Amino acid sequence: MSNYKVADIGLAKAGRKAIEIAENEMPGLMSLRKTQGKTKPLAGSRISGCLHMTVQTAVLIETLVDLGAEVRWCSSDIFSTQDEAAAAIAATGISVFAWKGETEEEYEWCIKQTLIFPDKQPLNMILDDGADLTKLVHKQYPELLNGIKGISEQTTTGVQVLNAMVRDGILAFPAIDINDSVTKSKFDNLYGCRESIVDGIRRATHIMLAGSVAMVAGFGDVGKGCAQALRGSGCRVLVTEIDPIVAMQAAMEGYEVLTAHHAAVKANLVITTTACTSVIDGSILELLPDNAVVCNMGQFDTEIDVSWLKATALKKTTIRPQVDSYLLPNGKHILVLADGHLVNLGCAKGHPSFVMSTSFTNQVLAQIELWTNNQDCKNYKKGKLYTLPKYLDEEVARLHLDHLGVELTKLTPKQSKYLGIPVNGPFKSDRYRY
């Protein structure tokens, strides 16, 4: 059995230096190591992880191990691996199968390597991103399902898949939706994208953003973060939306809201953020100005119809890795970043460590919940999808406040009684929209 496969194990030293820097920016995970490292709440768990193999994910993996878990890992996108991070994890003896630029066949091979551990025992927990590992086990390895105690899912797309599985009655174990924790969706999705979208575009293209007309497809948390960053860089931002409430939000934030076909005529920069499919299809791509840049910040590779481009273009020219120019029959060129995959990871280094600490602290807490508080599926039932309780969501935020120099006001007993909430929270109902 392979213990690891990475691009270059010689990158481990550089990866370790990057991990050490990231640890300083990930107070949530480091706090969990300090408070729960001795008790080993994840002892006995065999966690198979399928999530972008970045430096920040390396800190997550080593936190899970520090809390007692055995771990085998693969990346959740063919372009998102940071090879130095994968090498650093492999060098410690943790099994990791990930390298930047995998083929789709290699990607599936990597996922399959995470299922069985060195002692021939199968996985009993899943930490997923996009539900790829979850889908594979259900479809190809159903004999493993009964031994899996649960899954924690990172993303909007994965939650959509899990909801469909719940609806169809085929989800074989309980699942915790990390994406809809407030300290994930309102931090990773919004503030993380606000940081990393411009980084990815600039590293890939070196274009001048100020004065550009940027079209942001979707104005959810990811779209909001991208639109803010692009406007802050001097872009004139157009927004497309299907949801009337969200469209009104965009308009009241000062953005022009148009259909994709109307916006495409003006936009020399297009960013998809919807977690949907065929958002930018051939009919839209043909309308874009010459040398327009098209990229994705939504999920995986479904939003931009790259297959149409490959079938239709007269010529494809690779400018540099993950930057391709397509010549269309109408004489225009379209510049596609990361082959339609996530541009911030395909062309840059993804979100900053601090915001990933909020996401990944949720992940660790969910794994602990499913492993330690779910004997005989009494607390978390098979085939059901849950979110973490509000008090844990607030605790994740609390663990990060010192790093920001935040001083938190405390309720007095009189105020607590007046509001009808505990002195120490939770401070909002589950129905509250942040």
Consult the annotation and say whether 92 binds a ligand.
no
Q: Is 302 annotated as a binding residue?
A: no
**344 is known to lie in a ligand binding site:** yes
Cis peptide before 321 (omega within 30 of 0): no
The reply, when asked if residue 358 is annotated as ligand binding, is: no
Residue linked to tokens 């297009």: 270
139 annotated as a binding-site residue: no
Q: How many residues does the chain have?
A: 434
| Beta pairing, strands 315-320 & 323-327 | antiparallel
| CA 271 – CA 280 distance, rounded (Å) | 9
Q: Is 284 exposed, middle or buried (0-12, 13-18, 19+ CB in 10 A)?
A: buried
Q: What is the DSSP letter of 399?
A: H
In the chain, % helix, strand, coil (3-state, to 5) comes to: 45, 15, 40
> In 245-278, which positions are buried (b, 16+ CB within 10 angstroms) versus exposed (e)?
ebbebbeeeebebbebeebbebbbbbbbbbbbee
221 assigned to a ligand binding site: yes
For residue 3 the two structure tokens come to 């213990």
Q: Do residues 77 and 51 lie in contact, with contact meaning Cβ atoms separated by under 8 Å? A: no
Q: Which two tokens stand for residue 291?
A: 């040398």
d(CA 427, CA 369): 21
Q: In what order do the strands lie in the sheet with 46-50?
A: 4-5, 95-97, 70-74, 46-50, 125-128, 151-153, 175-177, 385-386
CA distance 427 to 182: 13
223 carries a ligand binding annotation? yes
Is 68 labeled as ligand-binding?
A: no
What is the identity of the amino acid at 330?
Answer: N
User: Distance between CA 362 and CA 393 in Å, rounded?
Assistant: 8
Cα(280)–Cα(203) distance, rounded to whole angstroms?
Answer: 23
Distance, in Å, from the CA atom of 315 to the CA atom of 332, rounded to the nearest integer, reads: 11
241 is in an annotated binding site: yes
Residue 222 marked in a binding site: yes
Q: 196: part of which helix (H) or strand (E)?
A: helix 193-205
Sign of CA dihedral 216, 220, 222, 225: positive
Check whether 220 is labelled as a binding-site residue.
yes
List, as residue ranges, the binding site. Answer: 155-157, 220-225, 241, 344, 351
List, as residue ranges, the binding site for NAD(+). Answer: 155-157, 220-225, 241, 344, 351
